[in-house]
């Protein structure tokens, strides 16, 4: 009996959201996963209801890693790094070097249904990093999990 190799094919959309206690930051991730090259890219939005309101928007990318962890089962790990969204004028040439404003480690269940995220963000180019650890869940496209009571 011959062992057949598994071929990774496909691109899929992965909407995720993490939230903690009331008043804690909320991280909304809209990712695409390209399985042939194990690459993840997308957008992160960290928001918080404070005065003034917190809104850190980042273009994110990173590798998709399948790993075995202590205890039963395996996890899917995604390491993301993010940079602020920049609208650069067409034909404006090379822009300045912009430091990253977001990084995250996601540990997801094998079916991508949920897991945990450890992320850090900063406001401004040289602002202080804020680290957050929260549970994360997959959301349905176009569905806000906070509006269940409506």
User: Where is pLDDT greater, at 79 or 90?
Assistant: 79
Instruction: Tell me how far apart the alpha carbons of residues 89 and 79 are, in angstroms, rounded to a whole number.
Output: 30
User: What residues are paired with 59 via a beta bridge?
Assistant: 43, 83
Percent of the chain with pLDDT over 90: 53
Query: What pLDDT is stored for residue 85 in this prediction?
Result: 84
pLDDT score recorded for residue 1: 42
Q: Does the pLDDT at position 3 exceed 50?
A: no
How many CB atoms within 10 Å of residue 43? Answer: 15
pLDDT of residue 2: 46
Residue 6 lies in a domain: no
State the CATH number of the domain containing residue 127. 2.40.128
Q: How many domains does the chain have?
A: 1
CA separation for the pair 125, 81 (Å, rounded): 15
Burial (0-12, 13-18, 19+ Cβ within 10 Å), 106: buried
The structure tokens listed for 105 are 């480690």
Give 119-130 pLDDT, tens digit per residue. Answer: 999 988 888 999
Q: Is residue 16 part of a domain?
A: yes
Top-ranked range on mean pLDDT: pick from 5-9, 87-91, 108-112: 108-112
* φ, ψ for residue 35, nearest 5 deg: -70, -35
Give per-residue pLDDT as tens, 11-27.
999 999 999 888 899 99
Is the distance from CB of 145 to CB of 137 less than 8 angstroms? yes
Question: Which structural domain, as residue segments, surrounds residue 104?
Answer: 11-87+95-140
Residue 1 lies in a domain: no
């Amino acid at each position: 009996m011959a062992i057949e190799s598994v071929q990774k094919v496909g691109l899929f959309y992965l909407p995720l959201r993490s939230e903690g206690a009331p008043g804690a930051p909320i991280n909304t991730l809209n990712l695409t996963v390209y399985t042939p090259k194990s690459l993840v890219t997308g957008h992160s939005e960290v928001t918080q209801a404070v005065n003034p309101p917190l809104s850190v928007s980042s273009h994110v990318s990173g590798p998709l890693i399948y790993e075995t962890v202590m205890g039963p089962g395996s996890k899917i790990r995604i390491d993301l790094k993010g940079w602020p969204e920049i609208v650069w004028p067409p034909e404006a040439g090379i822009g300045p070097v912009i430091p990253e404003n977001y990084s995250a480690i996601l540990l997801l269940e094998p079916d991508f249904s949920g897991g945990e995220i450890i992320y850090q963000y900063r406001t401004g180019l040289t602002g202080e990093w804020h680290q957050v650890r929260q549970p994360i869940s997959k959301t349905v496209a176009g569905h806000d999990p906070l509006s269940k009571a409506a």
